[in-house]
Amino acid sequence: MLCVLVFSLLLNIIHSVFAIPAHLSEPAVKHEWPDIPVGWERHSVPSADHLIDLKIGLKQHRIDELIDTLYEVSDPFHSKYGQHLSRLEVEKLVAPHPSTIEVINTWLHSHGIHHEEAVAWNSAGDWISLRIPLAKVESMLSTKYHTFRHKTTNELAVRTLSYSLPRHLHSHIDIVQPTTMFDRMRKMQVTSHVNPPDDTISDISLVADVTGPAGQNISASCNRTITPTCLMQLYRTEGYVPQAAKRGNRIGINGFLEQFINFADLQTFFKMFRPDAIGANVTVLSVNGGLNDQSIPGVEANLDNQYTVGLTFPTPNIYYTTPGTAPTINDSVTPPQRDEPYIDWLNFVLSHDDMPQVFTTSYGGDEQTFPKDFAIRACNMFAQLGARGASVMFSSGDGGVGAGTCETNDGTNRTIFQPVFPATCPFVTGVGATFNIAPERGIGFSQGGFSVYFPRPSFQNQVVPPFLRKLGKTYAGLFNPAGRAVPDVSAQGEGFQVVVGGKVESVGGTSASSPTFAGIVTLLNDARIARGKPTLGFLNPLLYSIGKPGFTDILLGNNPGCGTPGFNASAGWDAVTGLGTPDFVGLRALVV
């Protein structure tokens, strides 16, 4: 009897010491939308046993230290420039504090979820994944999910307008997904048409050349159609022979939305536009079961890969195919819903010791459609790539200063310019678009502006204020002048000749600009590796300092949207073309 009393007393003491105060365990809202996001409507109530692939992003304990280190190794004036971190060094900085692991496991156990049975942790320990019925998710998040339908596309998504966590978990969890993210990731591509047989590329030997900004000869046909030869002439990579293809230099291309690269089309492209590359290929890596169906050639996938290889051959090109289609409702023949591919891809790449030194992605969505906590967490993962020596390019978008009505989705329905995420993340390089040659002009769809989520980074402090002063009070209230400004740079984005299904299509969009600029960066890395130097890594601090003379300033063009003429291209940085377009010869002299 005495033993029972002592044991009971010990249990009470333990409970009193370790029990979470009631006010801390009460649910508190983590994120909510005031209204159903624009373009969506309630459709139905999903089944309680509908399976959800839940992802929980745990607080990264030393993320501020990682970002400080990123800036040190990316600043060409810092003594640590180029001293990039290893995978293990990065993972130590983003790993959760042990107390976070403890409280998360306790929370999961309280809902009948045991680590060894149902929970998968990524290599850094800052993401956990579990596949559980909707009813359990609703209990864990104190919420109710609905099936929502997109009014234009009829896409269906199981989402909630609000979710909560026990108050004491807010300091341990950054995000839980899928919950309130209604973003419709889209390809950054505005024009695509099949050229008639007599409207393909002319023999450049029969057309008089024009003079480029550095005095170089450029085929006049490049004013109408873009090929690898046009880009090599315009951006002065013609004649450069890559030297580090066998010394580890690589470029990575991201594919989402079931966009597949077609190998037969790639060889046809080589025969037409890069004969010396015939027989070369792209290595395809599958992320979480991503496919590469050769019966469905993708315009986006073919564009990205044909032009990265077209510019960088014989440098190895890696194509990542990641599941991430339009949101779907699972049934007996539909695979599990996978509509948040950024995190899947980032975790995959970051889990490997070895990875390409350059990445290009031609996808994105209006910043406001991403919950801010999601955008920040994904942005910090791009910072991890930069800390490890990778340069990350994203298309800046194809909506000018914003497509459609440009209404806010915070319940006020105000008109505001709409920048695109992830290009607004300060740790990636946003790429806008130009067209024409001698001179190049900013093209109307080139999306540019200012982030609402991310403040202006210090590397932009010298170039953005002069643009704002010239702008004056124009568009006051329509954008955040203190926000991170995009794009950073630009490149050609219209009339790209792409082989799709054996035929040439003319494609435009910042989806063409991003792989083009990424190809130039890959060649710069090649030159640095050949000289025994580290790769460029996170580019922006360098671009906005010693790199500025390596760009051709674009002085013409504007990017209308939201019922306005948009911003104007002008001397110096502008919100249409950024710092301008690359001059490989000039940049190589600055960075090698």
Residue list, annotated binding site: 553-554, 572, 574
Q: Tell me the C-alpha distance between 543 and 406, whole Å.
A: 31
304, 488, 505, 583: the active-site residue = 304
Q: Tell me the C-alpha distance between 525 and 148, whole Å.
A: 45
Is 72 one of the annotated active-site residues of the chain?
Answer: no
User: Quick check: 284 and 292 in contact, CB under 8 A?
Assistant: yes
Helix H, strand E, coil C: the string for 216-235 is: CEEEHHHHCCECHHHHHHHC
Q: Tell me the C-alpha distance between 433 and 426, whole Å.
A: 19
Q: Tell me the C-alpha distance between 64 and 96, whole Å.
A: 13
Amino acid letter for position 348: F
How far is CA 215 from its chain centroid? 35
User: Quick check: 357 and 538 in contact, CB under 8 A?
Assistant: no
74, 219, 490, 511: the active-site residue = 511
Provide the sign of the torsion angle of the four alpha carbons 304, 309, 311, 312, taken in this order: positive
91, 300, 339, 440: the active-site residue = 300
Q: Tell me the C-alpha distance between 266 and 279, whole Å.
A: 9
H-run or E-run covering 66: helix 63-74
The DSSP code for 458 is: G
Q: Tell me the C-alpha distance between 212 and 216, whole Å.
A: 5
Q: Tell me the C-alpha distance between 506 and 537, whole Å.
A: 32
Six token digits for residue 200: 């393909």
Is 8 one of the annotated active-site residues of the chain?
Answer: no
The DSSP code for 505 is: E
Six token digits for residue 94: 């983003």
SS3 at position 429: strand
Q: Which residues pair with 163 in a beta bridge?
A: 31
Q: Tell me the C-alpha distance between 1 and 218, whole Å.
A: 96
Is 64 one of the annotated active-site residues of the chain?
Answer: no
H-run or E-run covering 61: none
Please report, in range form, the residues annotated as the binding site for Ca(2+): 553-554, 572, 574
Q: Tell me the C-alpha distance between 266 and 42, whole Å.
A: 43
For 211, how many CA atoms within 13 A lie in the half-sphere containing its CB?
A: 2
Residue position matching structure tokens 């979820």:
113
User: Quick check: 525 and 358 in contact, CB under 8 A?
Assistant: yes
Q: Tell me the C-alpha distance between 490 and 511, whole Å.
A: 11
User: Quick check: 437 and 491 in contact, CB under 8 A?
Assistant: no
User: Quick check: 135 and 49 in contact, CB under 8 A?
Assistant: yes
Enzyme catalytic residues = 300, 304, 511
